[in-house]
Chains A and B, each alone.
Chain A
Amino acid sequence: MASLFKDPTKISAYRDRRFNGTQEEFEQALLNSTTVYIGNMSFYTTEEQVYELFSRAGEIKKINMGLDKNSKTPCGFCFVLYYSREDAEDAVKYISGTILDDRPIRVDFDWGFVEGRQWGRGRSGGQVRDEYRTDYDPGRGGYGKLVQRELEAQRQLVDYGAGSLGSFPPVMPPQYGKHGGGHGHGGSYRHGRDYHRKRHRDDDRHGREASKRNSDHESRRTSDRDSRPEKNPRFRESGDSDDEEEEEEDRKRRP
């Protein structure tokens, strides 16, 4: 259907450079895969939000959140694996370009998840696109990593004194025009709100670990929140740290 306007052979503009195989094999993989890649997500978006939205295209088999190599927290992308090809196609057709957590997300066919693909490929651990960004994007950790390092360096040159900066909004004007809104809340507001909300949710769930993490967050917040990405509090860290191995194992079998 709709063959008049769509080139059915052109399935994705994106070519994964880590794919081991020829262009033809890559395209073949995309044509048969039941996995979709989701990009431009907020770091705060949870698997359950993804589940609610993407299950409207079909029954979901698995979700793999993209994680920052270093912090092991979500870094703005994920893979959703469906049971059927048709459902994956519908997810691409009907969800790409729509809003999740106030952001337009991108949904593309993916050649299939393999272990290791959950990690960000950027130098600093997150996605490459978050290395070089110069805008302030509160849903994706503030400034790009390069800009953050620069700000950090500046701060060390000029000693502002610890704690004084934390309470100020970001130095560069945030670019809100891009992600919709039109609603006048500033970046620091959203930042703060998300921060608290997630902490609440975490507290509910893991009372025992919360105190330790809170103090961790608090100190970070007062000292260097303008330059370093905030730790994503919505990510329900376990603290018991065998998650990576778990994730590896859980891929061996499917329901």
Chain B
Amino acid sequence: MSSWKSILLRIGDKSSEYNSSDDFKDHIETCFGALRRELAHSSSEILSFLLQCAEQLPHKIPLYGTLIGLLNLEDEDFVKKIVEDTQNSFQDALDSANCDRIRISMRFLTALMCSKVLQPASLVVVFETLLSSAAITVDEEKGNPSWQARADFYVICILSCLPWGGAELAEQVPEEIERVLVGIQAYLSIRSHTSDSGLSFFEDDESGGDVVEKDFLEDLWERIQVLSNNGWKVESVPRPHLSFEAQLVAGKSHEFGPISCPEQPELPSTISAVAYGKQKHDAELKYPQRTRRLNIFPSSKTEDLQPIDRFVVEEYLLDVLLFFNGCRKECASFMVGLPVPFRYEYLMAETIFSQLLLLPHPPFKPIYYTLVIMDLCKALPGAFPAVVAGAVRALFDKIADLDMECRTRLILWFSHHLSNFQFIWPWDEWAYVLDLSKWAPQRVFVQEVLEREVRLSYWDKIKQSIENAPALEELLPPKGGPNFKYSGVNGQEKTEQEQAISSDLNNKVKGRQSAREIILWIEENVYPTHGLEITLSVVVQTLLDIGSKSFTHLITVLERYGQVIAKLCSNQDKQVMLIAEVSSYWKYNAQMTAIAIDRMMGYRLISNLAIVRWVFSPENVEQFHISDRPWEVLRNAVSKTYNRITDLRKEVSSLKKSIISAEEAASKAKADLEAAESKLALVEGEPVLGENPAKLKHLKSVADKAKEEEESMHDSLQAKEALLAQALDENEVLFLSLYKNFSTVLNKRLPDASGDATLQSLKSIHGDSMAVDLEELPTMEVDDENGIAQKSQSNGGKATNNVGEKEQWCLSTLGYVKTFSRQYASEIWPHIEKLDVEVLTEDAHPLFWKAVHSGLRRLSNEL
């Protein structure tokens, strides 16, 4: 990298480029000196790199802004070009709804204003343009309030500029900025409060009663008001332009042309709640809320900063996470080295966890945040691991209220995190969960973390890792071997005959008989005498046993003998039996159960509907609140279905693109041919084809081929579209079946529907009245040192989970209803009419109804 580049890139960092100085004024002078020398011969290169830096390192924007202000004194045209380019990319971003670029462009413009490159009035015009678009959107008559997500986003962008330039604006254009703020206040009074209970981390957020939690915009507005009352002082935003003010005032301000916001989509022609809800869903997909604050720590840890500093630091952190995804070293070093004069480990942890747990989806896969947390633990070994542990403890304390999806992500993250740190954790702190009921969320959490740890490692290792709380062994999964009915040991109750069939089959497979031969053998010799149940059991168990050695062995057996299974399990009833057999064979190994079922669905030996039916079979339903096992299988089945649809959509869209180019090629070839033909005709006065028959023939064949190509593409597009349509129909059936099953099992167990049923009231029903089998209760471990018993007592106050079994079952299951609805909302919305008619009827329990609706983020006042 040439030196000016690395100087530009490293500005503000403590680095060798700047002799480890951390004085921003020095940095700017050094960098300015380096750029000035290069400006004459690499100005366009500098321009594009500078803009790139400002976009991808937005926490350094004040430094880049000042630098550009100084360059403005040297080379006005260069800076004029910067302003023009910024304007173009800003307009593009507005048109294409590129939220990050809109937000960062506006901060950049603010910095340019601070360094006198732009007039404050130009910036105010930008604000007013966005604000008036927002105001129109939420106007019921002229606009389309279902697009409030975009309007809110625009207003958030305006407010977000103020920490960077509020002081300058208030000083230089006090009336104009006041006008903008008044406008924002007016906007806030028209818009409706966003109560996204479907996206909150904690279940109790929604039932706070009279206290309505502020939404993101209301919260930011309040922070900005405090800032304004504070004389616009922000500790977390560097103001390097102040050191150069005397020079900067001499710079020429550049024009910033008008920008325009895209029109909001028309209101649906038929105004119905459903159409409105669909539009709102689309708008929220395009303009998602960037973050939700997750308050994990006591406020003493984070709230000693000014309210606005918290917002600014979050912005910094989120931008580093966004732009340095995939660059581990830089990501960690920017995360820990932000240009702020205070410590922020707690805030950093809260911000990362808020992303890891963000609903419906984090911007990146959860494993990314896992990696960031690991790297920060290594970068700040003295501080961060303790903060992470504190976060885990705090979340663990509130786990009963944590959203189900968040619990699953937390389990996956925590097990993975520990696997990178030798599985060290003070498990004795949590040993008291053994005294809780087996459905207590904290106990289930510990059990599922241990399950995942074992999968990432091995049983004995994890056993060893809990040696400070040996009693927890009770929560370890079984050792994981297969449960083969026909192993011939342990005097199983299986008859010798069945045993013999199994070993016959085993020999046939070893003898490399074909699937056809085996099918024939079964049809002639096994099925007629033993009937379906026994045949299915022996064949499936034996094949699974042959494929039990590894994932690859399983795949091999399924590929070679899948047809045998397919022939035997030809309808849904039999497929459900097949799944039950798989689950029985792998009853000691949840991972292999999930994998085997997943692969069988992959080979289309079982349908997703069969899986749903099996998941809702009585023995699984009983597990809903105490194990992830059925849910993992269900998650896999729905996600595989979704992945198939996504693949088909991708194929369709890429085919459409190739068709366009194929059509172009075909019409060009045709035109060439016609041109050649007409040319001959003209030259001779009559069509004589003999002049250059070779060339003509060639052109003809090219044209024919292109036409053929085009036609065959149309054919394959048609075929793919048919497949996609079919897949979407099947998806509708899948979700209907899923919801019907949920509704049925919930109706049976939820207390009688009363109008004001809430989750809180469910939680307050205690288990005392429930008949609980004494055998089911965990036996108290009598520990020699009394350590465990004491621990459990001291924690007794905290772990007030004495929710009854049935109530916990309902809470967990409703949590999953919400999770599936939320995760697949985009797939469910197209089928909403059908869902309303068939599932969300008057008979549906209000709590079920509410779970679906909040998952889909369908507001009740729209109905």
CB <8 Å contact, A59 and B643:
yes
Of chain A, the residue at the smallest CB distance from B368 is: A94
Query: Would you give the shortest CB distance from B240 to chain A, in whole angstroms?
Result: 21
Of chain B, the residue at the smallest CB distance from A102 is: B422
Bound CA–CA A247/B322 (angstroms): 41
Query: Would you give the shortest CB distance from A35 to chain B, in whole angstroms?
Result: 15
Query: Would you give the shortest CB distance from A196 to chain B, in whole angstroms?
Result: 8
CB <8 Å contact, A2 and B323:
yes
CB <8 Å contact, A51 and B595:
yes
Q: Is A242 an interface residue (CB 8 A)?
A: yes
- Asked if A47 meets B550 with Cβ closer than 8 Å, knowing A98-B374, A249-B560, A255-B603, the reply is yes
Bound CA–CA A22/B365 (angstroms): 35
CB <8 Å contact, B374 and A4:
no
In B444-467, which residues have CB < 8 Å from any A CB? 452, 455-461
Name the A residues within 8 Å of B366 (CB-CB). Answer: 56
Interface size on B, residues (CB 8 A): 62
Query: Would you give the shortest CB distance from B544 to chain A, in whole angstroms?
Result: 12
Q: Is B121 an interface residue (CB 8 A)?
A: no
CB <8 Å contact, B420 and A238:
no
CB <8 Å contact, B552 and A94:
no
CB <8 Å contact, B455 and A52:
yes
Bound CA–CA A63/B559 (angstroms): 15
Q: Which of A90, A101, A180, A205 contacts B367 (CB 8 A)?
A: A90
Name the A residues within 8 Å of B479 (CB-CB). Answer: 200-201, 204
CB <8 Å contact, A47 and B551:
yes
Query: Would you give the shortest CB distance from A4 to chain B, in whole angstroms?
Result: 5
In A195-254, which residues have CB < 8 Å from any B CB? 197, 200-201, 204-205, 207-208, 236-238, 240, 242-243, 246-247, 249-250, 253
Q: Which of B53, B460, B602 contacts A4 (CB 8 A)?
A: B53
Q: Which of A52, A56, A250 contacts B552 (CB 8 A)?
A: A250
Name the B residues within 8 Å of A95 (CB-CB). Answer: 367
Name the B residues within 8 Å of A186 (CB-CB). Answer: none
Of chain B, the residue at the smallest CB distance from A6 is: B327
| Binary A-proximity of B470-507 (CB < 8 A = 1, otherwise 0) | 00000000011110000111000000000000000000
CB <8 Å contact, B481 and A64:
no
Name the A residues within 8 Å of B56 (CB-CB). Answer: 1-4
By Cβ-Cβ distance, the 9 closest A-B pairs, closest first, are A204-B481, A255-B602, A236-B549, A52-B455, A47-B551, A93-B326, A99-B420, A250-B556, A246-B556
Among B328, B367, B481, find the residue whose CB has the most chain A CB atoms closer than 10 A: B367
Q: Is A48 an interface residue (CB 8 A)?
A: yes
Q: Which of A1, A52, A94 contacts B591 (CB 8 A)?
A: A52
Q: Is A5 an interface residue (CB 8 A)?
A: yes
Residues of chain B whose beta carbon lies under 8 Å from any beta carbon of chain A: 9, 52-53, 56-57, 322-328, 330, 365-368, 370-371, 374, 412, 416, 419-420, 422, 452, 455-461, 479-482, 487-489, 510, 512, 548-553, 555-556, 559-560, 591-592, 595, 599, 602-603, 639-640, 643, 647
Bound CA–CA A141/B456 (angstroms): 21
Name the B residues within 8 Å of A237 (CB-CB). Answer: 549
CB <8 Å contact, A49 and B456:
yes
CB <8 Å contact, A240 and B551:
no
CB <8 Å contact, B460 and A250:
no
Given contacts A3-B52, A197-B458, 11 further A-B contacts (CB under 8 A): A1-B323, A2-B325, A4-B53, A5-B324, A47-B550, A62-B552, A98-B371, A197-B460, A236-B548, A236-B550, A249-B556
CB <8 Å contact, B549 and A205:
yes
CB <8 Å contact, A63 and B552:
yes
CB <8 Å contact, B552 and A1:
no
Query: Would you give the shortest CB distance from B113 to chain A, in whole angstroms?
Result: 25
CB <8 Å contact, A205 and B482:
yes
Q: Is A19 an interface residue (CB 8 A)?
A: no
- Asked if A48 meets B367 with Cβ closer than 8 Å, knowing A253-B559, A255-B602, the reply is no
Of chain A, the residue at the smallest CB distance from B512 is: A242
Q: Which of B510, B552, B640 contacts A47 (CB 8 A)?
A: B552
Of chain B, the residue at the smallest CB distance from A53 is: B456
CB <8 Å contact, A52 and B452:
yes
CB <8 Å contact, B422 and A183:
yes
Of chain A, the residue at the smallest CB distance from B331 is: A2
Query: Would you give the shortest CB distance from A169 to chain B, in whole angstroms?
Result: 20
Bound CA–CA A38/B373 (angstroms): 22
CB <8 Å contact, B456 and A90:
no
Q: Is A132 an interface residue (CB 8 A)?
A: no
Q: Is A29 an interface residue (CB 8 A)?
A: no
Bound CA–CA A236/B244 (angstroms): 71
Name the A residues within 8 Å of B374 (CB-CB). Answer: 98
Q: Which of B326, B452, B549, B553 contacts A6 (CB 8 A)?
A: B326
Bound CA–CA A255/B647 (angstroms): 14
Query: Would you give the shortest CB distance from A54 to chain B, in whole angstroms?
Result: 10
Name the A residues within 8 Å of B368 (CB-CB). Answer: 90, 93-94
Query: Would you give the shortest CB distance from A111 to chain B, in whole angstroms?
Result: 20
- Asked if A64 meets B552 with Cβ closer than 8 Å, knowing A2-B324, A48-B455, A242-B512, the reply is yes
Bound CA–CA A1/B516 (angstroms): 52
CB <8 Å contact, B481 and A205:
yes
Name the B residues within 8 Å of A102 (CB-CB). Answer: 422
Bound CA–CA A48/B419 (angstroms): 15
Query: Would you give the shortest CB distance from A195 to chain B, in whole angstroms?
Result: 11
Name the A residues within 8 Å of B330 (CB-CB). Answer: 2, 5
Bound CA–CA A250/B368 (angstroms): 32
CB <8 Å contact, B455 and A205:
no
Of chain A, the residue at the smallest CB distance from B464 is: A193
Q: Is A46 an interface residue (CB 8 A)?
A: yes
Of chain A, the residue at the smallest CB distance from B599 is: A255
- Asked if A201 meets B367 with Cβ closer than 8 Å, knowing A1-B326, A3-B56, A250-B556, the reply is no
9 contacts between A and B (CB under 8 A): A6-B327, A48-B592, A56-B370, A56-B416, A62-B555, A63-B552, A97-B328, A249-B559, A250-B555
Query: Would you give the shortest CB distance from B318 to chain A, in whole angstroms?
Result: 13
Q: Is A181 an interface residue (CB 8 A)?
A: yes
CB <8 Å contact, B57 and A56:
no
CB <8 Å contact, B643 and A83:
yes
Query: Would you give the shortest CB distance from A73 to chain B, in whole angstroms?
Result: 12
Bound CA–CA A221/B9 (angstroms): 58
Of chain A, the residue at the smallest CB distance from B370 is: A94
Query: Would you give the shortest CB distance from A190 to chain B, in whole angstroms?
Result: 10
CB <8 Å contact, A49 and B457:
yes
Name the A residues within 8 Å of B461 (CB-CB). Answer: 197
CB <8 Å contact, B551 and A247:
no
CB <8 Å contact, A197 and B419:
no
Name the A residues within 8 Å of B57 (CB-CB). Answer: 4
Bound CA–CA A238/B820 (angstroms): 40
CB <8 Å contact, A1 and B322:
yes
Query: Would you give the shortest CB distance from B577 to chain A, in whole angstroms?
Result: 22
Name the B residues within 8 Å of A243 (CB-CB). Answer: 553
Q: Is A57 an interface residue (CB 8 A)?
A: yes
Of chain B, the residue at the smallest CB distance from A196 is: B460
Q: Is A75 an interface residue (CB 8 A)?
A: no
Q: Which of A56, A100, A101 contacts B412 (CB 8 A)?
A: A56
Of chain B, the residue at the smallest CB distance from A207 is: B489
CB <8 Å contact, A99 and B365:
no
Query: Would you give the shortest CB distance from A15 to chain B, in whole angstroms?
Result: 22
Among A5, A65, A240, find the residue whose CB has the most chain B CB atoms closer than 10 A: A5
- Asked if A49 meets B455 with Cβ closer than 8 Å, knowing A2-B325, A94-B371, the reply is yes
CB <8 Å contact, A48 and B551:
yes
Bound CA–CA A246/B559 (angstroms): 10
Bound CA–CA A194/B603 (angstroms): 35
Of chain A, the residue at the smallest CB distance from B603 is: A255
Name the A residues within 8 Å of B481 (CB-CB). Answer: 201, 204-205
Q: Which of B52, B323, B328, B365 contacts A57 (CB 8 A)?
A: B365
Name the B residues within 8 Å of A208 (CB-CB). Answer: 488
Name the A residues within 8 Å of B323 (CB-CB). Answer: 1-2, 4
CB <8 Å contact, A4 and B367:
no
Name the B residues within 8 Å of A47 (CB-CB). Answer: 550-552
Bound CA–CA A95/B455 (angstroms): 16
Query: Would you give the shortest CB distance from A171 to chain B, in whole angstroms?
Result: 27
Name the A residues within 8 Å of B412 (CB-CB). Answer: 56
- Asked if A181 meets B422 with Cβ closer than 8 Å, knowing A1-B323, A56-B365, the reply is yes
